[in-house]
Amino acid sequence: MPKAPKLPSTVSRIEVQKKSSVRYSIFSETEFIVGVSDATLVRLDLRKGTVIDEVLYQRIENEEERWKVREYLIGLLSRRDHASFELKQKGLKKDYSAQILDELIYELEQKGYINNHSFAVKYVHDKYEFNKWGPTKIRIELQKKKLSANIIEQALDEVFSEVDQIETIHALILKKKPALLRTEAFKRKKKIFDFLVRKGFSPNTILKQMDYLLELIEK
């Protein structure tokens, strides 16, 4: 833990830190007072001659906490899209303040850094394209991320069509054909049904295709 500065203390000089050009070290005539981001420096108008008392020091610490959380959230978003809820959960695991997380996530939503609809569309596309998940399974996973029902359904509608689902079901069963051929004929229907339900396709869609799927296996 860094040693707490003696307060009140008058700022004598401000220096850019060697390891980061966006962070500054603030000194009095006799000691280091505090390190701050450029955002905190500007927001609180810290300059030579500023008197830092207990109240201002607490404001500096609060601003630095917000800066740290903001940098963490933006870092996550720079690597991939995230839904608001999962960003907050990750922040809470880092022991960041729930209130600060809520405020900053709202700010990032307003500025367009977080777009839950775009996240949902990409999630649906990726899980369908690469994992061959059906809409039911994808819907459940998006619900766990606390996305609104409206956003989830819009995303599913944008990505899925009935033709796409049917083509995917056919492809999945053809890929599984060797294993299904080793299954006794009277058990195949249940095996196909259970497999496709686990993949996230609706029972109604599966049953409509069942006769054709059985034919695919036996060809």
pTM score: 0.81
For 72-128, the pLDDT digits (tens) are: 999 999 999 999 999 999 999 999 999 999 999 999 999 999 999 999 999 999 999
Question: What's the average model confidence in pLDDT over 200-211?
Answer: 95
The whole-number pLDDT of residue 218 equals 86
In this predicted structure, the answer to whether residue 2 has a pLDDT above a threshold of 80 is no
User: Which residues, including other chains, have CB under 8 Å from residue 85's CB and lie 6 or more apart?
Assistant: 145, 146, 147
CA distance 167 to 105: 39
Domains 9-110 and 116-159 in one fold:
yes
Backbone angles phi, psi at 50, to 5 degrees: -65, 135
The whole-number pLDDT of residue 1 equals 47
Domain ranges of the chain: 9-110, 116-159, 162-218
The whole-number pLDDT of residue 182 equals 92
For 122-157, the pLDDT digits (tens) are: 999 999 999 999 999 999 999 999 999 999 999 999
Does residue 8 have a cis bond before it (omega within 30 degrees)?
yes
How much of the chain, in percent, has pLDDT values that exceed 90?
A: 93
Contact 31, 6 (CB under 8 A): yes
Query: Right CATH number for 116-159 from 1.10.10, 3.30.1910, 3.30.1370, 1.20.120?
Result: 1.10.10
The whole-number pLDDT of residue 114 equals 95
The angle that helices 162-175 and 203-218 make with each other, rounded to 10 degrees, is: 40
Backbone angles phi, psi at 55, to 5 degrees: -65, -45
Number of other CB atoms surrounding residue 180 within 10 Å? 20
The CATH code of the domain at 9-110 is 1.10.10.10
User: Which residues, including other chains, have CB under 8 Å from residue 60's CB and lie 6 or more apart?
Assistant: 34, 36, 40, 44, 46, 52
